[in-house]
Amino acid sequence: MSVALVVVSHSALVAQGCAEMARQMAPDVLVVPVGGLDGGLGTSVAAVADAVDGCLGDGLDVVVLTDLGSAVMAAETAVELLEADAAARVRTPDGPLVEGAVAAAVQAQLGSGPDEVARAATGAVPALGPVLPDGPGAGQGRGRSDVGVGTDAVTVTVTLRSPHGLHARPAALLARAVGATGVPVTVDGVNAASVLALMKLGARDGQELTVAGEGPGAGEAVAAVAELVRAGLADA
């Protein structure tokens, strides 16, 4: 991995919890929490600067994620204190802290550079609440696995096998797998490379999902993703 994340919050517990969640999504990415001030709430420019310096010293570019106003100011001040060549390796995107950290971590896990990781954080949606199916029998799949193939387009209907549904870890596993293919793939119409979009589906165990792709390599990518949905998410 070439990019580390520094998570800055007014609360040490929030920073630590956010970092823990991001690590669950992207186990190979360095995520450093910075939070609290003198045992209470607040932010420290020195603490942020130390965290950023440590990541830069390890040869990593850095994306700094923040929660509220003074955390933003602390991050910006810490970057301003760096030498120009070091500051050029740091990004401070404006986005939601928790969702941004999750999205950025998954993007970093794919080996993306700091600009792509920062964009992932900025583009993270501010709500993770699942949209659950309504009505009797909602989310209950019929076990079908139909395949439709057109010119450069492939769709597969597959039954999700994951005891707790498409929650954070399986969604991250699926998003990383899709990102690694380099092929645009959707699951039930959402970008399957976005862990947040996948989680918002609220898909449950036994639910049918439609995996679709188009363009060169779509057949192989969709087949791999469908197989992962069918069998590879059960223990995630």
Distance CA 117, CA 103 (A): 8
Q: What is the pLDDT of residues 28-58, one digit of tens each?
A: 999 999 998 888 898 999 999 999 999 999 9
- pLDDT above 70 covers a percentage of the chain that reads 86
Q: What residue spans of the chain are helical by DSSP H? A: 12-25, 45-57, 69-80, 84-87, 97-109, 114-122, 168-181, 195-200, 218-227
Residue type, 155: T
Give the mean model confidence (pLDDT) for residues 124-151.
39
Residue 197 φ then ψ, to 5°: -65, -40
- Predicted local confidence at residue 64, as pLDDT: 97
Known catalytic membership, residue 167: no
Active-site hit among 3, 10, 226, 228: 10
For position 45, what pLDDT does the model report? 93
Which residues of the chain form CATH 3.30.1340.10?
Answer: 147-232
Q: Where in the chain is the domain with CATH 3.40.50.510?
A: 3-122
pTM exceeds 0.95: no
CATH of domain 3-122: 3.40.50.510
The whole-number average pLDDT for the span 112-117 is 92
Fold of 147-232: Histidine-containing Protein; Chain: A; (3.30.1340)
pLDDT, residue 57, reads 94
